[in-house]
Amino acid sequence: IATEVTTPFFVPIKVTMMTAFLLALPWVFFQVWAFVAPGLYQHEKRLGVPLVIASVILFLLGMAFAYFLVFPVVFGFIVGVAPEGVAVMTDIGKYLDFVMTLFMAFGITFEVPVAVVLLVKMGMVSVAKLREIRPYVIVGAFIIGAIFTPPDVISQFMLAVPLWVLYELGIIVAALITKPKPESEAVESASDYTPMSQSDMDAELDRIEASLIDRPPSLPDQTEPGSPKSR
């Protein structure tokens, strides 16, 4: 049912916008990566395509998780707590807003591993620090679950627990891809080295020679006769 005058007009527009967002999702994540990539080294930029693909897949998995697992529990709870004799007939506009909010909440929640890997690769945080702040992340996960889900414990757990598990998954992946590899890093650093050209070397030698010629000679040690050094 539609209880507001403009609901029949705005609902199709919202559905169209959501569909357009999902279709443009790969491009959106690619633009996010293009913003982050200039701050990374060459070997770190190789993660671009895998991270973009993983971001799209994880977002869609989050929406699927909400649709197939969370929605039945949430709507069952809402109908179950309704007083006897009350028919639950939600306005289509309110229903769509609720569904889209949960879709976005679970989609963004499933992006946690990608965010963790990016933070570690950019050097903004270490794996050890992520493990250290684990208790705060768990508390924050349940706070987020309480904000974006209906006031029942089950749906709150269904958002908080995946958020925590995905955070742990991000730590594991970040630890694996940041494991030190001296040989490969040495080869890569050697391949990135660009030797000076002959003209640059000649210019540098001329500069050093000119600085030595222009340097004033050191004054001789003048000591008075009879001093200990003159003896």
Q: Is 126 exposed, middle or buried (0-12, 13-18, 19+ CB in 10 A)?
A: middle
Q: Is the pLDDT of residue 230 over 50?
A: no
Residue 26 lies in a domain: yes
Q: Which two tokens stand for residue 116?
A: 């963790």
Pair 120, 126: CB distance under 8 Å: yes
Residue 200 lies in a domain: no
Residue 100 lies in a domain: yes
Residue 79 lies in a domain: yes
Residue 12 lies in a domain: yes
Q: Is the pLDDT of residue 163 over 90?
A: yes
Q: Structural domain tally of the chain?
A: 1
From residue 192, alpha-carbon distances to 9, 49, 162, 180 in Å are 58, 22, 41, 18
Percent of the chain at pLDDT above 90?
34
Residue 225 lies in a domain: no
Residue 40: partners with Cβ closer than 8 Å, 6 or more residues away: 121, 122
Residue 66 lies in a domain: yes
Q: Is 62 exposed, middle or buried (0-12, 13-18, 19+ CB in 10 A)?
A: buried
Residue 114 lies in a domain: yes
Q: Is the pLDDT of residue 139 over 90?
A: yes
Cα–Cα dist 128/124, whole Å: 12
- Least confident range of 1-10, 116-125, 197-206, 218-227: 218-227
CA dihedral 159, 165, 168, 170 (to 10 degrees): -70
- Structural domain boundaries, residue 13: 7-181
Query: Which amino acid belongs to residue 210?
Result: A
